[in-house]
Structure 1
Amino acid sequence: MSFHDNDAFRVFCTYAGLTTVKMMSLSVYTIMLRMKNDVFMNTEDKQSKDSKVGININDYIERVRRCHRNDLENIVPFLSLGFLYAITNPSVYSATMCYRIFFASRILHSIAYLTPLPQPSRALCFIVGWFVNATMAWGIISFGMF
């Protein structure tokens, strides 16, 4: 079976693309906030002599950066696990639900992080995404074992 004929892989490609674009949008958002607030990390990035340079100068920009870092820590494993899961030939329904739930958990996690909503909202979103990754990992390991 080729990747082209694997419906689970095609669904993975859709959600991998959506999740990656979601993650990339946070870096663009950070840049926009830095320029709007004239706050930069490096002296060579300063827009004017009054620009602020350094860490933790703008709490909201730092919050966006932490949200982006959290995406990196969770979406990169999803991309690997989702790919491997898709090639184990799971049911299309199972794969679709894993990918869909993970994507929704990351969207909701970002909303909870950036709003900010009170805990445990952010933690619950993280746990749901982690559980999806763990489920796919178990499916991959089980496939290899039997």
Structure 2
Amino acid sequence: MAIIKLLTGSVYGTAEAVATEVKAALEQSGHTVIKAEGLDAVLRDGADAVLVCTSTTGQGDLPENLLLLYQELKERFPLLGHLAYGIIALGDSSYGDTYCGGGRLMDELLTELTAKRVAEPLMIDASETASPETIAVPWAVEWASQL
């Protein structure tokens, strides 16, 4: 089973709640899931994959608690070819072009850093889904089965 670093970006707690449900489901499937904050936490302990669960704020930006890691990744630019990754992005499609912008930013950066995307990013629309974990958990379990 895989060692997965879980990165969460949340403003009002929804993405954090989804990440908690995803973590429990992945652990029940036999994976080791470690919530990580900061670049050093992501890079140490030999992870197999990174799973990002983030909301979007402002004009398609990352929440502040994930923005610092994003900036550090861009600045230090560590090549992550040894890691697989997945993205769970929460947003509201009524915001048009900025819909799930936080997840899109992380997807673009992880691709630039040569990490291997496993499955298309999951985009969860708040205007259509009141309980995003009902979509995120099965997606994450399927994603992890492909690692």
Give the TM-score of the pair, scaled to structure 1.
0.31
Task: Decide which structure has greater strand share.
Answer: 2
Which has the larger helix fraction? 1
Return the index of the structure with the highest Cα Rg.
Answer: 1
